[in-house]
Amino acid sequence: MALISPSRRLRRTPFSDGVEAAGVTAYTVYNHMLLPTMFESIEADYHHLKAHVQVWDVACERQVELRGPDAGRLAQMLTPRDLRGMLPGQCYYMPIVDETGGMLNDPVVVKLAEDRWWISIADSDLLYWVKGIANGYRLDVLVDEPDVSPLAVQGPKADELVARVFGDAVRDIRFFRFGWFQFEGRDMVIARSGYSKQGGFEIYVEGADIGMPLWNALMAAGEDLQVRAGCPNAIERIEGGLLSYGNDMTDDNTPHECGLGRFCDTQTAIGCIGRDALLRVSKEGPVQQIRAIEIPGARVPACDRAWPLVAGATRVGQVTSSIWSPDHETNVAIGMVRMTHWDAGTRLEVITPEGIRKAVVRGGFWA
Ligand code: THG
């Protein structure tokens, strides 16, 4: 593919200088912002992530901040997940749906206080939907995008690295919980979360000016841990079944089709704008659902459009993400498959741009 031209619309991040100095070799665009996708090579980055520790510029996971007395009420209007039991200090993975029950985003939501929430969004312009609801319902809440940029530290040595910079107390942070920690006198939220199955943290960096000092401190503290600049890794995330909004699902899909039913409490999520629609469709259950797909044999190209899944002459779904896995020595993929063909072991064919290949529906992901 040709290069993408830089411009002001394609936003840099507080860590872009560090990413460039570290030798980034490919970017994608996410929330109108640069997101690194490769340093040495996808496969070298993958092996390193699974063995050591990486610092990821995920500033493109922008925050939609809700601030004010109606913040909690607004949050519940956005999602079929029941938020009544959520306490400050917790993070929730949370489907966001429109009035038809279609997915608008799949963020991590950070509850800072009863009247202050961060919605850490995937790649869609969620801010406009949230502002529209806040204003249309005349809610007493401010909605905006603050100067907050997540920096992820992922990999088996993440605890050691983050403890060296922020102190041993970070080791006590539980999965999808956060605490407040200081760096050079600045308060930062540190959560145990991140877009990999290798473990680690996300540091919510408030103020672009402190981005590079923190980046440099992590890199200096981790020299003997072989710390490197990294990024969400295509192989690792497909093996782990981490979904990518806009790739694996869109606003045409319900959370149940996305396999996110465990994050929905549609009966009790009173106030959710998509609740009635989801109650209607969930009576029958989804007629298609996301599945792990194996494409055995030679390496397939990266999936940059939906590849039809067929059984004979019948289209029964599509593959939306795929890549060669060095550890599993096969092509790992994510697809949306019709009910008639979604059982584990079902043999299908997938139409790739390089020809027709065998595909097998799996019972689960690889991680
Ligand atoms: N972290 C933060 N913001 C984000 C992402 C993130 N915004 C964009 C994108 N990633 C949103 N999508 C996801 C997808 C999966 C997960 C988090 C965000 C995730 N899933 C766990 C899993 O599937 O194993 C389940 C989490 C749970 O059990 O609650 O972590 O990564 N800040």
Strands (DSSP E) contained in 50-170 are 54-57, 63-67, 91-93, 96-97, 103-105, 108-113, 116-120, 142-144, 148-154
Q: What is the pLDDT along the chain (367 residues), one digit of tens a residue?
A: 889 999 999 999 999 999 999 999 999 999 999 999 999 999 999 999 999 999 999 999 999 999 999 999 999 999 999 999 999 999 999 999 999 999 999 999 999 999 999 999 999 999 999 999 999 999 999 999 999 999 999 999 999 999 999 999 999 999 999 999 999 999 999 999 999 999 999 999 999 999 999 999 999 999 999 999 999 999 999 999 999 999 999 999 999 999 999 999 999 999 999 999 999 988 889 999 999 999 999 999 999 999 999 999 999 999 999 999 999 999 999 999 999 999 999 999 999 999 999 999 999 999 8
For ligand 1, pick from 91, 193, 236 the residue to mutate: most ligand atoms within 8 Å of CB: 193
Cα(358) to centroid of ligand 1, in Å? 30
How far apart CA 232 and CA 321 sit, in angstroms, is 14
Domain 16-60+147-237 CATH (choose: 3.30.1360.120, 3.40.120.10, 2.60.40.420, 2.40.50.100): 3.30.1360.120
Q: Which pairing describes strands 228-230 and 54-57: parallel, antiparallel, or unpaired?
A: parallel
DSSP character at residue 113: E
**In which residue ranges of the chain is CATH 2.40.30.110 found?**
287-367
| pLDDT of amino acid 108 | 98
Q: Is 95 in the pocket of ligand 1 (CB under 6 A)?
A: no
What distance in angstroms lies between residue 193's CA and the mean position of ligand 1's atoms?
7
> What does CATH list as the number for 287-367?
2.40.30.110
Q: For residues 354 and 301, what is the distance between their CA atoms, to the nearest angstrom? A: 8
Q: Does ligand 1 have an atom closer than 6 angstroms to the CB of 331?
A: no
- Report yes or no: 252 and 63 within 8 Å, Cβ to Cβ: no
Please state, in angstroms and rounded to a whole number, the distance separating the CA atoms of residues 229 and 37. Answer: 11
* Ligand 1 and 274: CB distance under 6 A: no
Taking CA atoms only, the protein residue closest to ligand 1 atom 3 is 120
Whether the full predicted model's pTM is greater than 0.95, yes or no, is yes
Counting from 1 in the atom list of ligand 1, the atom nearest the Cα of 240 is 24
| Distance from residue 285's CA to the centre of ligand 1 (Å) | 24
- Listed in order, the ranges of the chain carrying CATH 3.30.70.1400 are 63-132
Closest by Cα among 2, 31, 32, 36 to 16: 36
Phi, psi angles (nearest 5°) of residue 161: -65, -50
Residues of the chain with CATH 3.30.1360.120: 16-60+147-237
C-alpha span between 4 and 296 (Å, rounded): 33
- Find out whether the beta carbon of 30 lies less than 6 Å from any atom of ligand 1: no
The H or E element that residue 103 is part of is: strand 103-105
Is 45 in a helix, a strand, or coil? helix
| Residue 108 CB less than 6 A away from ligand 1 | yes
Q: Which of 365, 227, 217, 207 is nearest to 291 (CA)?
A: 365
Pick the CATH number of 63-132 from 3.40.50.300, 3.30.43.10, 3.10.20.30, 3.30.70.1400: 3.30.70.1400
Q: Is 136 helix (H, G, I), strand (E, B) or coil?
A: helix
CA–CA separation, 74 and 90 (whole Å): 17
Ligand 1: distance of its center to the CA of 159 in Å? 19
Q: Is the CB of 336 under 6 A from ligand 1?
A: no
Ligand 1 in reach of 204 Cβ (< 6 A): no
Q: How far apart are CA 45 and CA 229, in angstroms?
A: 9
Cα–Cα distance, 165 to 214 (Å, whole number): 9
Q: How far, in Å, CA of 263 to CA of 112, rounded?
A: 20
The CA angle 349-42-199, to the nearest 5 degrees, is 100
Name the token pair of 289.
């659902």
Binding site membership of 236 for ligand 1 (Cβ less than 6 Å) = no
